[in-house]
């Protein structure tokens, strides 16, 4: 598929066929939320990192779409914190194993320290497999 095009299902004579939409790209956008629902530990707040995918002609438009949806998603119990970051996907989002988001960070910590600092703090509400 041409890098400047995404596909849109259901166009044309064949309902399962895909037709290219010129100028559109796929983006994974991560938004951060805070929720007012009670946390398990006293004095703690629940935060969520949420990645959604969007088709758009640019990073800016993908972010605009994601932020509009983020404000709606937060609802009455949450707040979109105004932080998002977008990732232009190179994979077809409908393909198994497609990369929908990636963030690379430089850090001096050793792997275990890095994971403890950013991902495995002990307060995550996620299913993890060791």
Which tens digit of pLDDT belongs to each residue from 56-108? 999 999 999 999 999 999 999 999 999 999 999 998 888 889 888 888 888 89
More confident residue, 130 or 65: 65
- Domain boundaries of the chain, sorted by first residue: 24-118
The rounded distance, in Å, linking the Cα atoms of 46 and 12 is: 46
> For the whole model, what pTM was predicted?
0.71
- Name the band, by pLDDT with cuts 50, 70 and 90, for residue 122: confident
Please tell me the predicted confidence (pLDDT) of residue 104.
83
Average pLDDT over every residue of 14-35 = 75
Contact 99, 90 (CB under 8 A): yes
- Name the band, by pLDDT with cuts 50, 70 and 90, for residue 19: very low
Contact 48, 33 (CB under 8 A): yes
H or E element in which residue 84 lies: strand 78-88
């Amino acid at each position: 598929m041409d890098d400047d095009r995404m596909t849109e299902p259901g166009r044309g004579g064949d309902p399962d066929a895909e037709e290219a939409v010129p100028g559109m790209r796929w983006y994974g956008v991560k938004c951060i939320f805070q929720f007012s629902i009670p946390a398990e530990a006293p004095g703690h707040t629940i935060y969520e990192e949420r990645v959604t995918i969007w088709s758009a002609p640019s990073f800016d438009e993908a972010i605009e779409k994601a932020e509009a949806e983020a404000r709606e998603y937060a609802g009455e119990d949450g707040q979109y914190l105004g932080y998002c970051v977008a990732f232009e996907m190179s994979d077809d989002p409908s393909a198994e194993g497609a990369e929908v988001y990636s963030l690379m960070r430089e850090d001096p910590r050793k792997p275990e320290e890095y994971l403890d600092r950013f991902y495995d703090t002990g307060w995550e509400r996620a299913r993890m497999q060791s």
